[in-house]
Amino acid sequence: MAMLPSRVKYRKTQRGSRAGNATTCNKISFGEYGLQALDRHWLKSNQIEACRVAITRHLKRKGSVFIRIFPHKPVTARPPETRMGKGKGAPEFWVAVVYPGTMLFEISGVSENLARDACRLAANKLGIRTRFVTRQSMMH
């Protein structure tokens, strides 16, 4: 099941700027451990879902998983072998805009080793550099 907004104000959006670092969602707010992005990227909804499945399977229904990102942005694409002109393409998929420092996932209620392994499995699904952070390491 892909994540997408239930309704949006505009069906098609512009690409926008990807400059700068995360100013919000850059601290651990809900869990004890987190997976933090170190690169800027558009994460597709199916990548986020694959991470969620990897984390919850590894935790074996223990603890809680918090997904801190949501794909709000539609990305359009033209059909293959189409000539120029004739307007903008239809929305193909949805992405979450991720800046360096964005907290992607948070985990609570499990040991640090289990959370670290779960985040490592999730990070392999993403294709961007990430790091494992704890609430204590964010304090320092």
Q: How many residues does the chain have?
A: 140
DSSP-based helix, strand, coil % in the chain, nearest 5 = 25, 25, 50
What is the DSSP track for 53-90?
Answer: HHHHHHHTT-SEEEE-----EEEEEPPTT--S-S---E
- Angle, CA 60 vertex, CA 96 and CA 126 arms, to 5°: 25
The CATH class that applies to domain 33-76+90-138 reads alpha beta
- Angle, CA 41 vertex, CA 39 and CA 47 arms, to 5°: 110
Burial environment of residue 66 by CB neighbours within 10 A (0 to 12, 13 to 18, 19 or more): middle
Integer Cα distance of 110 and 119 in angstroms = 12
- pLDDT tens track, the chain, 140 positions: 678 899 999 999 999 999 999 999 999 999 999 999 999 999 999 999 999 999 999 999 899 999 999 999 999 999 999 999 999 999 999 999 999 999 999 999 999 999 999 999 999 999 999 999 999 888 77
Residue ranges per structural domain of the chain:
33-76+90-138
